[in-house]
Amino acid sequence: MTKISLKKQILDSNDAVAATNRKLFDAHHIVAFNVMASPGAGKTSVILSLASRLKPTHKVGVVEGDIASRIDTEKVIAAGYPAFQINTGGNCHLDAVMVQKALSALPLDDIHILFVENVGNLICPANFNLGTHKNIVIASVPEGSDKPYKYPGMFMKADIVILNKTDLMKAFDFDLAYFTHGIKILNDKAPIVLTSCKSKRGIRELANLVIAKYRKNFANHNFEF
């Protein structure tokens, strides 16, 4: 009972800060996406491919979450986008307080779409609300087609599922039907987008989903794309 009570207190406290983050996003007309995946699935590559597709009409910002280093943040900044690094020092996920601190360091008035790249992990990040509007979950072909079956909690909370590195599908003998079935039995509402950052497959489709969410939230910003 004590462990359950403590966990509830932690999550309730986190949710309160997440609600504050959401209000801040809305006040600045920012649509925010929590991007979650295993290490090496291609989170940063997908974000950069999306950002390139979205510019110049939609200004992108990024919060990078890692246990250590600034490697991905340096890539994002070098590509010309504002970014802030969160190093968790060992924690396997971001929480709303970490994101709140990052937001104070970003030029929010110059951002339309914010991608929060969570720590590489298919378990813990699903439990912590950050205040973002939508959850993007990325799986990659080299990981195998069984990820939805092994990590159901993550895929149940996805608003968009991306299967990345599809240019490697033949090399890894990836079972797309099995993967897709695993998603659909958990979450039949989330679109599944097949992407390759190398060939740019699926990036336009993904960008259109992101823009659709922006227009739904802020109809007065009628960007052409």
Given the structure tokens 């509830």, which residue do they identify?
8
> What CATH number is given to the structural domain containing 48?
3.40.50.300
In a domain, 204, yes or no: yes
Q: Which of 209, 83, 185 is nearest to 134 (CA)?
A: 209
Reported as a single tens digit per residue, the pLDDT across 136-179 is: 999 999 999 999 999 999 999 999 999 999 999 999 999 999 99
Report the alpha-carbon angle 203-21-119, nearest 5.
55
Question: Cα(124)–Cα(69) distance, rounded to whole angstroms?
Answer: 20
Q: Is the dihedral of CA 36, 177, 142, 76 positive or negative?
A: negative
Count of domains in the chain? 1
In a domain, 65, yes or no: yes
- The reported pTM is 0.93
In a domain, 225, yes or no: no
Question: Cα(150)–Cα(20) distance, rounded to whole angstroms?
Answer: 33
Can you tell me whether residue 214 is helix, strand or coil? helix
Answer whether residue 5 shows pLDDT above 50.
yes
In a domain, 12, yes or no: yes
In a domain, 61, yes or no: yes
In a domain, 222, yes or no: no
Which domain, by its residues, includes 68? 2-217
Reported as a single tens digit per residue, the pLDDT across 15-52 is: 999 999 999 999 999 999 999 999 999 999 999 999 99
Answer whether residue 224 shows pLDDT above 50.
no
DSSP 13: H
Reported as a single tens digit per residue, the pLDDT across 188-204 is: 999 999 999 999 999 99
In a domain, 223, yes or no: no
